[in-house]
Chain A
Amino acid sequence: LAKTTQPISMDSYEGQEVNITCSHNNIATNDYITWYQQFPSQGPRFIIQGYKTKVTNEVASLFIPADRKSSTLSLPRVSLSDTAVYYCLVDQDNFNKFYFGSGTKLNVKP
């Protein structure tokens, strides 16, 4: 089953672009990659999902190389309110099992 590896923490400043990379070496053919954001004492919030190449929505972009063994979440122009833990999740849809990693704690400074 695919497991994910992310940096434990990252620091950034307001207005900067932040890129968080996740490794998922054992990703299976039918698996999607999903990113969630979580604030303290709240449930995770869906950010973006993708299968290959690039996906963009109103809050983020997701870049997935051809081998799909990693993915990069890109947050444009972060603000203080983006300080949170970000999780990369591989949707093991074939097995109906979903594994969150330990997440990346993003700290945005003024």
Chain B
Amino acid sequence: ETGVTQSPTHLIKTRGQQVTLRCSSQSGHNTVSWYQQALGQGPQFIFQYYREEENGRGNFPPRFSGLQFPNYSSELNVNALELDDSALYLCASSSLEIQGYTFGSGTRLTVV
């Protein structure tokens, strides 16, 4: 039981469409980060939010955006989907009181 839930678990979208992925963090976890994991590779850091503000970003274009809400939920939005966006998208949350991040099981996005 991870305490971080992501929805949906699987999703198929068409190239050019927009997608919103959702994450519900553990209560009290005011830091959330999102990762993209292509098949056979390690997770790639997209961005991190702390208290509803983005405070770190990896090498992803602006069409990847996010939101964090006061109720410890967050969203990852991807516009103008490309075939290479097909991947497992992982949400992870943490707080200053714990070590490391707690990851969800991810959303498998397929772009066709």
Contacts and interface: CB of A to CB of B under 8 A. Distances in A.
Given A100-B42, A100-B44, A103-B42, A44 B103 contact: yes
Contacts, number: 56
A73 to B, nearest CB: 13
A87 to B, nearest CB: 6
Interface in B11-42: 33, 35, 41-42
Contact of A98 (B2, B4, B33, B102): B33
A100 B48 CA distance: 15
Interface in A43-95: 43-46, 49, 87, 95
Given A95-B56, A96-B55, A97-B45, A46 B104 contact: no
Interface of B is mostly: strand
Interface residues of B, number: 27
Contacts of B103: 36, 43-45
B101 interface: yes
Given A42-B105, A44-B103, A98-B56, 20 more contacts: A41-B108, A42-B106, A43-B90, A43-B103, A43-B105, A45-B2, A45-B103, A46-B102, A49-B99, A49-B100, A96-B48, A96-B50, A96-B56, A97-B45, A97-B57, A97-B58, A98-B45, A100-B45, A101-B42, A103-B42
Interface of A: 34, 36, 41-46, 49, 87, 95-103
